[in-house]
Structure 1
Amino acid sequence: MYREKVGIIGGFGAYATLNFYKRLLEEFASESERNYPHIIMDNNFTMPSRTRALLYGEAYDEVVDGISDSIQLMMQNDVSKIILVCGTAHYFLNDVYKKIPEAKEKIVDIINIMGEELKLKDEGEVLVIAAEGALQKKLYQTRLKKYGIKCVNPDEEDFIDIRYFIECVKRNELNEDLVHQFGNFLDKFGKRNVVLGCTEFPVLVEYIDKCQKQRVQ
């Protein structure tokens, strides 16, 4: 039995959070539900845009407060680990830790985990596809540099396409045309190792895998 209590902070993207929750349960696949972890989830859909906060300083403090409030809620429920289902949200953590220093011990930093995995696989360079704010602020370049990973950003002209893919997932508008567009988008970069720095992209990739399996059947 997994005895630690896990807190999931979502709402940054409802379907990204749902997808993460499903994959978390799959990791604990068991014959008995009693072997699953105790999970508490907070979806705050009213939180301002993280991307606009980074690009324009719009409601920056409100974003920090919103993330802090969710973390406080988790800590009041005595969780052992806290996961933010949003790569961009990790940019705000330093400001969150100024408000709640004790949270640092509980946050499962998904960017650090990714850096450790990439280092183990000896990946020296990756293409990062993420929300515009994270790319412009060089979130992944800065954080992954300490693991010896060089991050390559798409060109600014690609940001429109990236934004479109993310918004389609947020609205649950997945279809064959979107699959085709995303495939063409990735083809532009050739054979590169790609970091999906936005949690909406695993939802799209899972949908693509499902479509491919249906074609084979």
Structure 2
Amino acid sequence: MAVPLALAGVLGTTTAPAAESAQSTRPAPARTAHQDGCRGHGVDDSALIRYESDIVIDASMSTVWKLQTDVERWPSWQPPVTGSERLDTGPLRRGSRFHWTTPAPATPTTPATTLGITSTVQAIRQGQCVLWRGPAVGEGLRIDEGVHLWTFTKVGGGVHVHTEETWTGSQVEADVPTATAALGWGLETWLRDLKTTAEARS
């Protein structure tokens, strides 16, 4: 889940490509890891609120992976994360749970608050992907479930990171454009912080 909730500018839109002729013999493009999810797990396809983004980080896979999966140290490099603790011990694995907090500024439909997020790892593949999900609850604000997928791929310039997330819940679904803008702002900020920190440590 990517927060804080903050109003962003107008989100860009994309136009779907024209459908190919049924007679086309062009082979289907290979599916990427993020399209297949993480061990078959992915974001909520039925969610009204969704955002995805990508970045290339000039650092080793081990550096990027450790930063992203050492959840208790997130506050040391992500200013929007004000606290984070594991609710179990050992390496991050399927079923691992962690609780983290982040401020959520006011929007036209929700008050300023601090969100407490309890995330459960649904799937993880070392150096390739991780997916967690869970609710975010603050005073006057609730996201029933955020589902957050991260995939990591070695490329010539370092590591290609893809992230996508969905939110569900009646409160955020009451204003989909604002919630989507907030989610996008959070994910873009997270990617920039991850890139800056990983590259500084390489």
Q: TM-score when scaled to structure 2?
A: 0.26
Give the structure with the larger helix fraction. 1
Give the structure with the larger strand fraction. 2
Q: Which has the higher contact order (CA 8 A, sep 6+)?
A: 2
